[in-house]
């Protein structure tokens, strides 16, 4: 394995985690994280979609004039998201109801566009696939952690299995949208502490992001 | 070919390809999705009307009605899904009335009432009072308001009374 590729992968997961560092993809993150299983599903779907979009885009981008690149890209991502929606309706209709509108909203998620505009259209295919895999995994980890906390404290159960026993009083607010924001805020504070330890925050002195260049900048 | 024309063509082409792809997906999935929906509805209807084998959707006076039939296409009854302003927000519920005009089921689907107070509308003790109430009865005479949760229970009772009027006029007069 090429070390640049691994570096890109790791950068998406940790150093430039889309949620904790870039504050991107918060809509599906907050919307689909009430339960661990829906969070995990959203994370995996998100990762899969990112990579599929990238592959298709890489195949066709040579023929697309600059002016319509973004519109065509919207068509590609919307088509794929709708396809996933249909597949879920057939094989996993319960989860489709759980994810609701947030699944369809992935079609216009900023991360898709940012990643493809900035990165995928300018780097070799293999590298961009692994970089996107990293970003997808970074998102998945974030949503799984958030959903785990929300389900655990919001219902006293994890994956539907009771953890704390009958005397535990669930924090019901965590299941609702305001609770999601608060939990995410606390989680970000925690993440910032970790990042500070590795001197990665913007206000820290020169971070070590050099190398292959940031995933998010041109 | 001018640039703008090429751009437009590429864009239209992408749209067509996407459209065709999704049409194909839809054709492939349509049957399964419809089947599953019917299955789910029938399972739900079976709770109220044993032997339910098919239904027909209808809408009267803003009420969502499902006319339920059995295998021989015999009319079994009607399931009404509607909502009523409760204490804090709308209460969404289902009311099942059989062909004799008796209530055979009431289920609250959604509500935002205070859990330990208005929440009684979800409890069997409250809901079961409705069972057997006929269209000839006055619902508010047969079902008691729960003290402490007057507004929530009163809302359901009044709403059921109104729904029964509609059901009587629309479906039971034959």
Ramachandran area for residue B64 (φ above 0: left; ψ -120 to 50: alpha; else beta): beta
Partner-chain contact A86 B22, CB within 8 Å: yes
Candidate from A26-35, A186-195, A196-205 with smallest mean pLDDT = A196-205
| Res A111: pLDDT | 76
Could you give the CA distance from residue A71 to residue A60 in angstroms, rounded to a whole number?
13
Instruction: Report how many domains make up chain A.
Output: 1
B40 and B58 together in one domain: no
B43 and B5 together in one domain: yes
Distances (CA, A) of B63 to A174, A198, B107, B121, B172: 34, 61, 15, 20, 16
Partner-chain contact A90 B32, CB within 8 Å: yes
* Partner residues linked to B65 by β-bridges: B58, B80
Band (A213; pLDDT cuts 50, 70, 90): low
B41 and B126 together in one domain: no
Q: What is the mean pLDDT of residues B64-85?
A: 88
| Res A210: pLDDT | 44
Could you give the CA distance from residue B103 to residue B78 in angstroms, rounded to a whole number?
10
B126 and B56 together in one domain: yes
Q: What is the mean pLDDT of residues A53-75?
A: 85
B141 and B156 together in one domain: yes
Chain A within 8 Å of B114 (Cβ-Cβ)?
no
Contact map slice: B 22-41 vs A, CB within 8 A: 22, 25-26, 28-29, 32-33, 36
3-state SS track over A138-190: HHHHHHHHHHHHHHHHHHCEECCEECCCCCCCCCHHHHCHHHHHHHHHHHHHH
pLDDT digits (tens, 9 = 90+) for B95-116: 999 888 889 989 898 888 887 8
- Write the residue in B11, B18, B33 that is nearest to A68 by C-beta: B11
Residue A215 pLDDT greater than 90, yes or no: no
B126 and B155 together in one domain: yes
Chain centre distance of CA A133: 10
Residue of B22, B24, B37, B38 to mutate for A, most A C-beta atoms under 10 A: B22
pLDDT digits (tens, 9 = 90+) for A130-166: 888 998 999 999 999 999 999 999 888 888 788 887 7
Residue A116's domain comprises 3-149
- From B48, B68, B83, the end of a domain falls on B48
Candidate from A16-20, A81-85, A197-201 with smallest mean pLDDT = A197-201
- From B11, B33, B48, the end of a domain falls on B48
Nearest chain B CA: its distance from A52 CA (Å): 14
B126 and B41 together in one domain: no
Chain B within 8 Å of A160 (Cβ-Cβ)?
no
Give the closest residue to A39 by CA, choosing from A185, A106, A139.
A139
B64 and B32 together in one domain: no
B86 and B33 together in one domain: no
Partner-chain contact B22 A76, CB within 8 Å: no
Chain B within 8 Å of A90 (Cβ-Cβ)?
yes
Residue B81's domain comprises 50-171
In a domain, A163, yes or no: no
Q: Which chain B residue is nearest to residue A65, measuring alpha carbons? A: B7
pLDDT digits (tens, 9 = 90+) for A88-147: 988 888 888 888 889 988 888 877 777 666 665 667 778 888 888 998 999 999 999 999
* Partner residues linked to B80 by β-bridges: B65, B95
| Res A38: pLDDT | 92
- Write the residue in B6, B8, B22 that is nearest to A79 by C-beta: B22
Band (A216; pLDDT cuts 50, 70, 90): low
Nearest chain B CA: its distance from A42 CA (Å): 21
Long-range contacts of A112-117 (CB under 8 A, 24+ apart): A112/A49, A112/A50, A112/A53, A112/A73, A112/A77, A113/A70, A113/A73, A114/A24, A114/A216, A115/A50, A115/A54, A115/A215, A116/A53, A116/A54, A116/A57, A116/A73, A117/A69, A117/A70, A117/A73
B121 and B166 together in one domain: yes
Partner-chain contact B21 A90, CB within 8 Å: no
ipTM of the complex: 0.77
Instruction: Report how many domains make up chain B.
Output: 2
Partner-chain contact A83 B36, CB within 8 Å: no
Give the closest residue to B97 by CA, choosing from B71, B135, B153.
B135
B61 and B40 together in one domain: no
| Res B127: pLDDT | 87
Could you give the CA distance from residue A75 to residue A16 in angstroms, rounded to a whole number?
27
pLDDT digits (tens, 9 = 90+) for A1-16: 678 888 888 888 888 8
Residues of B in Cβ contact (< 8 Å) with A170: none
Give the closest residue to B161 by CA, choosing from B142, B139, B136, B137.
B139
B54 and B17 together in one domain: no
Whether pTM > 0.80 for this model: the answer is no
Candidate from A94-108, A146-160, A189-203, B45-59 with smallest mean pLDDT = A189-203
């Amino acid at each position: 394995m090429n070390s640049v590729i691994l570096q890109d992968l790791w950068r998406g997961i940790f150093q430039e985690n889309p949620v904790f560092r870039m504050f991107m993809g918060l809509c599906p993150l907050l919307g689909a994280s009430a339960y661990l299983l829906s969070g995990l599903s959203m994370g995996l779907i998100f990762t899969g979609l990112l990579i599929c979009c990238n592959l298709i885009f890489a195949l066709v981008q040579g023929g697309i004039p600059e002016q319509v690149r973004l519109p065509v890209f919207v068509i590609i991502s919307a088509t794929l998201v709708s396809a996933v929606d249909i597949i879920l309706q057939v094989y996993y209709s319960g989860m489709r109801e759980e994810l609701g509108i947030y699944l369809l909203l992935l079609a216009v998620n900023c991360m898709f566009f940012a990643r493809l505009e900035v990165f995928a259209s300018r780097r070799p295919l293999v590298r961009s696939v692994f970089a996107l895999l990293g970003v997808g995994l970074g998102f998945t980890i974030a949503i799984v952690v958030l959903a785990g906390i929300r389900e655990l404290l919001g219902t006293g159960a994890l994956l539907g299995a009771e953890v704390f026993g009958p005397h535990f009083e669930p924090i019901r607010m965590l299941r609702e949208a305001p609770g999601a924001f608060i939990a995410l805020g606390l989680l970000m504070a925690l993440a910032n502490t970790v990042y500070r330890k590795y001197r990665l925050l913007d206000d820290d002195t020169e971070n070590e992001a050099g190398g292959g260049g940031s995933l998010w900048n041109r | 070919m001018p640039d703008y024309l090429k751009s437009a063509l590429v864009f239209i082409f992408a749209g067509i390809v996407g459209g065709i792809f999704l049409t194909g997906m839809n054709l492939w999935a349509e049957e399964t999705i419809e089947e599953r929906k019917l299955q789910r509805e029938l399972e739900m209807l079976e709770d109220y009307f044993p032997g339910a084998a098919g239904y027909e959707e209808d809408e009267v006076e803003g009420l969502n009605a499902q006319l339920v039939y059995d295998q021989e296409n015999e009319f079994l009854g009607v399931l009404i899904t509607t909502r009523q302003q409760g204490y804090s927000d709308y209460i969404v519920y289902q009311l099942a009335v059989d062909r004799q005009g008796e209530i055979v089921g009431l289920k609250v689907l959604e509500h935002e009432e205070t859990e330990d107070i208005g929440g009684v509308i979800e409890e069997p003790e409250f809901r079961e009072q409705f069972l057997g109430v006929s269209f000839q009865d006055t619902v508010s005479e047969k079902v008691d308001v729960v003290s402490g949760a007057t507004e929530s229970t009163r809302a359901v009772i009044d709403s059921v009374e109104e729904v029964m009027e509609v059901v009587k006029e629309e479906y039971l007069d034959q």
